Amino acid sequence: MKGKDGFTLVELIIVIFIISLTTALVMPKLWDTGERALKSEAKRISNTLMYIYDEASGKKRVYALKIDFNADSFSFESEKESRSIRMNDNIRFKDVIIPSLGEVSIGEVTYQFGPMGPEEPITLHLIKDDSEYTIMFNHINGRAKIREGYFIEG
């Protein structure tokens, strides 16, 4: 008896399924425009703001958050703790809005957290290429909201 050449329909379906699954997993990473990194950075800053708020009120200490537009970095410090964080992947601060200072987009901004929390809200805008994210920090409850795009709390 002579052997058959070719593949069965089941074998072809399995191969097509494996190729489709691999493509579905790999292609989004190839086409990522950097928005994922920008959103991740916004979450990191948001978490840092909430951490500083909780630490300042819990330990009854004064913390200072410093945003450096020239170095695309931010830092915080108290009498017993300090940390400096540089942003990744060409992400930068577009501006920071604090009611007493207005909109700031150059130099360095310092935002104070006292044992009762900061005295006013802060809105931070991040940008990477054409994508933007807004972080709105509520000074009363110590929580932050992240929104895609450029927003001003009002």
| Encoded tokens for 67 | 């945003």
* Residue count of the chain: 154
Categorise residue 60: left if φ over 0, alpha if ψ from -120 to 50, beta otherwise.
left
Task: Give the pLDDT band of residue 88 (cuts 50, 70, 90).
Answer: confident
Q: Please say if the pLDDT value at position 61 is more than 70.
A: yes
pLDDT digit string, tens, across residues 6-46: 889 999 999 999 999 888 888 766 666 567 889 999 999 99
% of the chain beyond a pLDDT of 70: 92
Helices (H) and strands (E) in the chain, counts: 2, 9
Q: Cα separations (Å) of 97 from 2, 12, 91, 120, 137?
A: 80, 58, 18, 10, 11
Q: Give the residue extent of every domain in the chain.
A: 35-148
Q: Which CATH class is domain 35-148?
A: alpha beta
